[in-house]
């Protein structure tokens, strides 16, 4: 399905996105998208759970 998208179609989509979000908002949307992708990759690789466990252990050590 995406194989049928060529250069002109992608430019039209980019233009529509630019109109909807505005030039300043695109940077923040891209940044948030990148953060989401990184979190997803960390969660699927198991690093996210390990980080949460370590943070919980540190919090319990600090509390006692």
Summarised one tens digit per residue, pLDDT across range 17-54 is 888 878 778 778 888 889 999 998 888 887 666 666 77
Say what the pLDDT of residue 12 is.
92
End-to-end Cα spacing for the chain: 57
> Which tokens belong to 55?
């943070």
Say what the pLDDT of residue 36 is.
92
Task: Tell whether the model's pLDDT for residue 7 goes beyond 80.
Answer: yes
pTM, rounded to two decimals: 0.43
> Which tokens belong to 60?
């319990």
CA gyration radius, the chain: 20
């Amino acid at each position: 399905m995406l194989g049928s998208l060529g250069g002109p179609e992608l430019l039209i989509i980019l233009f529509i996105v630019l109109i909807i979000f505005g030039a300043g908002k695109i940077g923040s949307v891209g940044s948030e998208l990148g953060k989401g992708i990184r979190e997803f990759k960390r969660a699927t690789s198991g690093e996210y759970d390990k980080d949460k466990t370590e943070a919980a252990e540190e919090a319990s050590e600090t509390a006692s």
